[in-house]
Amino acid sequence: MGNSVRVRIAPSPTGNLHVGNARTALYNYLFARQTGGTYILRIDDTDAKRSSDEDIEGVLYSFRWMGLDWDEGYEAGGDCGPYRQSERLSLYQAHVEELLANGHAYRCWCTPAELDVLRKRAQQERRPFRYPQTCLLLAAAERAARERSGAPYVIRFLSPREGTVDFLDLVRGNMRVDAAELDDLVIVRADGMPTYNFASVIDDSQMRISHVIRGADHLYNTHRQIPIAFALGFDLPAYAHLPLLTNPDRTKLGKRSGAVLVGDYAKQGYLPEAVVNFLALLGWNPGDTQEVFSLEELVAAFSLERVNRANAVFELQKLVWLNGVYIRSLTVPDLTERSVPFLAEAGVIAAENVDRTYLQDAIGLEQERLKNLAEAPSVLDFFFADDVTPEPKLLVAKKQTPADSLSALQRVHEQLALLASWDHEPIEACLRGLAAELGWKAGQLFMPIRVAITGKTATPPLFETMVVLGSERTLTRLAAAIDALAADIAE
């Protein structure tokens, strides 16, 4: 295929990408990179009510966060620009005039109210609605009168009424519809803006797109676009329609299903590597049991031949698992830097002043337990708190009285304060020796110590936690816990 491959991703500028569009963007990217082709980003913003520069920035953020760099297109430039549809209106207008002149398009003055009546009638008669070509069949004098009146109109494409519209789908095989099923679709709205099905045909041709890879929800659009391309004398690209994403119950994946925007997953602390890996497996399989792929490995392994026809089930637990795999694969300094924004936003640290060495030591202890970066504040907060104020009842050892637990914690404080070296081995030897001296099981003693110095019952391993906290912080917290338990007993 070589450099003749040119693919595009053409999102509407509606903010962060929906995961379905993100998956489509990824597959186009993988195909382009594997074939040495060109990856193009076009902004389809002909719907002015839904388009803004801020929303375009949301789209670009999603691409950049996922690591999908584009070779040509919006902001990158190229010889097929502009790459924003709202800046290509003169090009569309020229093609509209061509279709009107050669009889492949016509003006339609039917009002929305008149069309609504026709749709309701079709619904009552249980038949699909197709525009009855009312304005195409007007007498020449009537048509001329309407043109002179200045009444608003749309422009419709005159769809073929005989034969079939066929194409070979690289995922689904031979696709065919009877031409009689196609409607005379609107190609230019009353406000003069082209519709998606018209503008995309022109852009794909002018930008020399070799492969249109998009979701299966565009299948019908493809059948509608092919006659337009033929009417304009364009060569057709190859088409590949990807399986749709569904919930586990096979319903359409939507906002009620939870996070469906790429930006939402970023905010929830998922790593871009995990999201990309997860999306790649939604509708494609490598043909073996491998599940964890870097972006480079996906480029090497991907093929349209292994894209499934059946809808792909969006299973969040798979993403959670993959995210954990990637978190554990990071170096501690890398994980630390990725965690800093979450910790700073939660007020756990001041990003500009935090002791990076101490932060790395703390994160290193929590790396095995983190499912996502958004959990970092809740699991790391005790490392940075001025005090942890545990509940006195949690300081009472299992099967021991409050008074015995108070005495044990006092002994712990005394013995730890005497240690010459604040390392794992002497700390462990000290505490296990104390447990034996008290006649307690090790776990009976370790839990109230854990609560005293962290305020939590579940933390990383106790001795490693104490080493990271340091002797001063550990002894200060133990002393505060002893005072709290003594006060509680005295009440």
- Is the confidence at residue 14, as pLDDT, over 80? no
Q: Is the pLDDT of residue 257 over 70?
A: no
Contact 40, 71 (CB under 8 A): yes
CA-CA distance, 241 to 219, in Å (whole number)?
A: 7
What is the C-alpha separation between 359 and 340, in angstroms, rounded? 9
Average pLDDT score over the chain: 94
The answer to whether residue 255 scores a pLDDT higher than 70 is no
Tell me which of 338 and 17 has the higher pLDDT.
Answer: 338
Polymer length of the chain: 491
Classify residue 101 by burial, with Cβ atoms within 10 Å: 0-12, 13-18, 19+.
exposed
476 has a pLDDT exceeding 50: yes
Q: Confidence band (pLDDT; 50, 70, 90) for 48?
A: low
Mean per-residue pLDDT, 263-283: 97
Nearest CA to 212 out of 320, 286, 304, 74 is that of 304
Is the predicted pLDDT of residue 186 greater than 60, yes or no?
Answer: yes
Residues 285, 303: Cα–Cα separation, whole Å: 9
Give me the active site residues, please.
255
Q: Say how far apart CA 428 and CA 309 lie, in whole Å.
A: 58
Q: Which of 374, 368, 364, 375 shows the shortest CA–CA distance to 333?
A: 364
The torsion defined by the Cα of 272, 276, 279 and 285, in degrees rounded to 10, comes to -150
**Mean of the pLDDT values across residues 298-326?**
96
Q: How far apart are CA 403 and CA 406, in angstroms?
A: 5
Predicted model pTM: 0.92
pLDDT in tens, 416-462: 999 999 999 999 999 999 999 999 999 999 999 999 999 999 999 99
- The number of helix segments (H) and strand segments (E) in the chain equals 19, 12
Q: Which long-range contacts (CB under 8 A, 24 or more apart) does 292-300 make?
A: 292/322, 292/325, 295/67, 298/30, 299/30, 299/33, 299/34, 300/34
Distance CA 195, CA 188 (A): 6
Q: Is 50 helix (H, G, I), strand (E, B) or coil?
A: helix
